[in-house]
Amino acid sequence: MSSSPSAIRVAIIGGGLAGAAVLRGLLRYPHLTVDMYESRPTLRDEGAGFAFTSRAQDILATIDPELEFCLDRAGAVLTTTETRVAAGPHVGREIEINGFSENCKKNVSRQAFVMEMLDCVPPHMIHPGTRITSVTELPSGQGLLLTFADGSTKKYDIVIGADGTHGFTRQLVLGADESLVKPHSTGFWGLPIKVPLQRAQQLMGTHSLDPSSPLHVGWIGDGTTIIYDLLDNGNEVQIIVCGKADDIGEDDGLSEPSWAKLFTPDEFREAFSSNRVPVCQGTIDLILSVYTVQVAALCLLEHRPAPTYVTENICLIGDSAHSMLPFQGANISLSIEEALLLSTLIGRLPSKAAIAAALRAFDQVCRPRAEEATRLSAETGLLITGRAPGVGLNADLLQQHLRHKFEFLLNVDIEAHRTAAVSIMDQLLGVEAAWP
Tens digit of each residue's pLDDT (9 = 90 or more) over 258-313: 888 999 999 999 999 999 899 999 999 999 999 999 999 999 999 999 999 999 99
Residue pair 99/53 in contact (Cβ under 8 Å)? The answer is yes
Least confident interval from 146-160, 188-202, 422-436:
422-436
Question: Strand order in 153-156's β-sheet?
Answer: 132-137, 144-148, 153-156
The span from the CA of 53 to the CA of 34, in Å, is 29
What per-residue confidence (pLDDT) applies to 431? 64
Hey, how many other C-beta atoms are within 10 angstroms of the C-beta on 416?
A: 10
**% the chain with pLDDT above 90:** 87
Give pLDDT tens digits for 319-337: 999 999 999 899 999 999 9
Give the model's pLDDT for residue 258.
80
CATH architecture label of 8-50+108-182+303-388+407-429: 3-Layer(bba) Sandwich (3.50)
Give the mean pLDDT of 332-355: 96
The mean per-residue pLDDT over the stretch 46-54 comes to 88
Output the pLDDT for position 99.
86
Looking at per-residue confidence, does 44 or 370 come out higher? 370
Cβ–Cβ < 8 Å for 107, 40: no
Q: What is the pLDDT of residue 255?
A: 54
> Residue 339 in contact with residue 186, Cβ under 8 Å?
no
pLDDT the model gives residue 319: 95
140, pLDDT greater than 90: no
Angle between helices 54-63 and 330-347 (to 10 degrees): 20
Confidence band for 252, pLDDT divided at 50, 70 and 90: very low
The mean predicted confidence, pLDDT, of the chain is 92
pLDDT at 44: 63
Residue 351 is predicted with a pLDDT of: 93
Which pLDDT belongs to residue 168? 95
Alpha-carbon distance of 181 to 316, in angstroms, equals: 12
CA 411 to CA 292: how far, in whole Å?
43
> Could you tell me the pLDDT band of residue 51, with boundaries at 50, 70 and 90?
very high
Residue 195 DSSP SS3 = strand
